[in-house]
Amino acid sequence: MKSPAAACLLAALLLALPVGAATRDEDPTEALVRHIAKDLRCAVCQNQSVYESNSDLAKDMLRVIRDKVREGQSEGVIRDYFHQRYGDYIYLEPTTGGMNRLLWLGPFVGLLAGGWALLAAMRKWRAKPTATPGNDPPPAAPDAAMQERIRQELEQMRL
């Protein structure tokens, strides 16, 4: 090869060739089996999909998925089959329906309620302060009778 760019291009083509060949020859039913099995949790393993797990139960579940796909059952029917046997736990990602909706919406409702409470508290803090014993309004100006009495008492004090 005369140029390094041509050598890099040839190497990239040779490396990409097996990957492209493997995806073209893949059985469509096996692709669906893998898609379904990657979304279902192994009932024995923690947080491993049926497709990734090596447990006997996961192998049995994978076999059931493969049989049902070959029978022509849809993805939804197969998921429902496992959901009926294992409940919501079988899904690796929680669903957004039913009671799980409260889990999905709860943080947003809590955030809105907290914001509303903070806004109400801030409005209360900014309101005019009410009269308290340490914050009494200034006394009114004395009337004529009071001024006369004050004058008389001041004169008595000077004597």
Residue with tokens 């900014």: 126
Q: Which DSSP symbol is given to 87?
A: G
Residue with the bigger pLDDT between 144 and 13: it is: 144
Rounded Cα distance, 29 and 37, in Å: 12
Contact 7, 21 (CB under 8 A): no
Q: CA–CA separation, 41 vs 50, rounded Å?
A: 6
What mean pLDDT, rounded, does the chain reach? 82
- Looking at the predicted structure, is the pLDDT value of residue 148 above 80? yes
Q: Provide the pLDDT confidence category of residue 153 given band limits of 50, 70 and 90.
A: very high
Residue 52 has pLDDT above 80, yes or no: yes
Most confidently predicted of 13-22, 41-50, 54-63: 54-63
Whether the predicted model's global pTM rises above the 0.75 cut? no
| Band of residue 132 on the pLDDT scale cut at 50, 70, 90 | low
Neighbours of 90 (CB within 10 A): 19
